[in-house]
Amino acid sequence: MKFSDQFEQRFTEMLTHYPTKRSVLVPTLLFAQDEIGFLSDEVIHELAGRLDLTDLEVRNVISYYSMLTTKPRGKFNVQVCTNIACMLRGADELFEHCEKKLGIGHKGTTPDGLFSLEEVECIGACSWAPAAQVNYDFHENLTPDKMDRVLDEYKKKGTQ
C-alpha cells in the first residue's frame, strides 16, 4: 500500500503530537480518505498495521464517524443539512430537489461517479440556512435554483 509523500509527511509529523500511537488514527483516516476517496480494506489493514491495532478496531472507529466511509463515493459529496434551522427554511424540499436532479437518494452515487448525496446533521451554518456542504466547501442560503447552479458548476469542474 503506497500513499503520497504528503500523506507520509503528515503521518510522521502527527505521530509526534500524541503520547500513544493509536491516537493518530482519526486524523490519519481522514487524510487517507481524502487521498484514496474512501477507506478500502487495504487502507484499513495498512493503518492497523502501522498503529498496532487490529483491523476490527479500525473498522469500529470508522463506523462510529459518519464522515468516514468504507464505500467509494462520488467525486463531489453533496451533504444537505436537514436539522432544525435548515429544515425550517426549506431543507427538506432542497434535499428532494437534489434527489430528483441527481437521480439518486440518500447515500447514493451517480452512475458517472461524479456526485454522491447525503442527508446530514447540523453542519454549523444555521445563520445561513438552508446550507449544504460539498466536500469541504460550504454553500449557503440555498434555494432549488441556487442549488442547480452550484451542482452545474461542479459538474463542469468534474467533466473538464
Partner 1 sequence: MAEVNITVDGKKVTAPAGTLLIEACKGAGIEVPSFCYYPNLSLQGACRMCLVKIEKMPKLQTACTTVISEGMSVTTDTEEVHQARKSMVEMLLGNHPLDCPVCDAGGECELQDMTFSYGAAESKYIDAKNHKEEQQWSPVVYFDRPRCILCYRCVRVCGEGMDVWALGVQNRGVSSIIAPNQDDHLECEECGMCIDICPVGALTSGAYRYKTRPWEMKHVGTTCTHCADGCKTTLGVRRCDTGMEIVRGDNRDKSGINGDFLCIKGRYAFDFAHHEERLTQPLIRKDGRLTPATWEEAFELIGKRFAEVRGKHGGQAIGVVGSTRTTNEDNYLLQKFARVVLGTNNIDHHRTADFPALAAALSGKPEMTASMRDVFHAPAMLLIGNNPTEQHPLLAWQMRNNVRLHRARLYVVNSQPIKLRRQAASFSQIPAGGEGKLAAFLAGDDSAVDALLNEKTTRDSCIALREKLRGEANLVIIFGSEIRGNNITSVVKFASAIPGAKVLCLADYANSRGAADMGLYPDLLPGYHRVTDAGKFHEEWGGVPEARGLTFPEMVESAKAGALRACYLVGANPIGRFGIDPYAFSHSFVVVQDMFLTETAVMADVVLPAANAYEKSGTFTNTCGDLQLVKKAGEVTGTKSDFEMIVRIADAMGFDLRKLVPFGRGAHFDMGQSRGAQSGEADRHAVWLQAQGLEPQMSPFDPMAILDEIQRLVPGYDVSRMNLLAGNEQHTTLAGSGTGALQNPELIVPAQDDLFSSGTLGRYSRTLNSVIENHHKESAETDVAAD
Contact pick of 57, 92, 99, 148 for partner 1 (by CB under 8 A): 57
Closest C-alpha among 98, 110, 116 to residue 38: 116
Nearer to partner 1, 56 or 88 (CB): 56
Least distance to partner 1, CB of residue 63, Å: 4
Least distance to partner 1, CB of residue 15, Å: 20
Binding status of residue 55 toward partner 1 by CB under 8 A: yes
Stretch that binds partner 1, among 32-40, 59-67, 103-111, 137-145 (CB under 8 A): 59-67
Stretch that binds partner 1, among 24-32, 58-66, 79-87, 151-159 (CB under 8 A): 58-66
Binding status of residue 63 toward partner 1 by CB under 8 A: yes
Binding status of residue 20 toward partner 1 by CB under 8 A: no
| Three-state secondary structure readout of the chain | CCCCHHHHHHHHHHHCCCCCHHHHHHHHHHHHHHHHCCCCHHHHHHHHHHCCCCHHHHHHHHHHCCCCCCCCCCCEEEEEECCHHHHHCCHHHHHHHHHHHHCCCCCCECCCCCEEEEEECCCCCHHHCCCEEECCEEECCCCHHHHHHHHHHHHHHHHC
Nearer to partner 1, 53 or 80 (CB): 53
Contact residues toward partner 1 (CB under 8 A) are 54-57, 59-60, 63-64
